[in-house]
Chains A and B, each alone.
Chain A
Amino acid sequence: MRLLASFAKYELGILLAAFAGVIVYQLLTGAIKMSGVLREKTRTGTGGVSAARVQLLLFTFAMAFYVLSQVIEFRTFPEIETKWLLVLGGSHSVFLGAKGVLSLFSSEPR
């Protein structure tokens, strides 16, 4: 039984790392399309770089690094304070609000 547990442990680790590795590799090489991720999308097409998208990307990376670093250090999920959840929720609201406004009030249909 101990051998089985050890095998399952390594199997899960290798498979999870392989999934993440394949996706990160394809993101870096361009096999997974990343173009336009920061550009605003209007009904007339793609516009310039959107501040709402940039701030959401920064908050996403910040929160992801925070959670991962806490898990690596303390080997348990961290208690995230409500104010940080509100900050992240606000960031998402700004992104969604900008997206909704642009899709509603563009002049020509795509």
Chain B
Amino acid sequence: MLLLLQTPPDPSFHFLALVMGWIVTVLVAAFALAIIYKMVKGDINLMYLIAGADGDASLARFQFLVFTFVIALGLFLIILSSNPPTFPTAIPGGILALLGISGGSYVTAKAVDANANKPPATQVVVTQPPPAPAPAAVVVNTGSSEQNSDD
């Protein structure tokens, strides 16, 4: 392993990394451009982007969108500000807590909406089973006794 690390980098690997980098960069750009084009054209309908289940705009979704864009733009600026561009080594706990509060609020609001839109539980009528039929009366034929009395 040490030998591998100490060997000088192969120029063909450098070329391969460059090619792969360009492919990934162009591919991501193509995907994103296609999505943006469809959003502008209206094929991807954004009308209900921040709407709740009832069709009205939801504040929980809106604030989640705002914080998502703020953190994304901030991350982008921080990455660009270093030369060469590097990902920040640490993200403060406060920023993570901010995103957690925002996301948690969105999920909780969604749960409240789902519970509110749930149809009311149907009334369950418990019927008592019909009483078991009474055991049939046993009629004892006492004909012999009548004969005895006639005698």
Contact = CB atoms under 8 A, between A and B. Distances in A.
B27 to A, nearest CB: 11
Interface residues of A, number: 61
Q: In the complex, which range does the number of interface residues on chain B fall in? A: 35 or more
Contacts of B52: 41
Contacts, number: 163
Contact of A57 (B17, B63, B81, B94): B63
A37 B72 contact: no
A89 B44 CA distance: 33
A32 B78 contact: no
Contacts of B29: 11, 15
Nearest to A36: B56
B101 A96 contact: no
Interface string A92-107: 1001100110011000
B74 to A, nearest CB: 4
Interface in B10-27: 14, 17-18, 21-22, 25
A76 B85 contact: no
Interface in A1-50: 1, 4-5, 7-9, 11-13, 15-16, 18-20, 22-23, 26, 31-39, 41, 43, 46
B105 A35 contact: no
Nearest to A80: B94
Contact of A85 (B54, B94, B115): B94
Contacts of A12: 76
A41 to B, nearest CB: 7
B48 interface: yes
B112 A99 contact: yes
B59 A18 contact: no
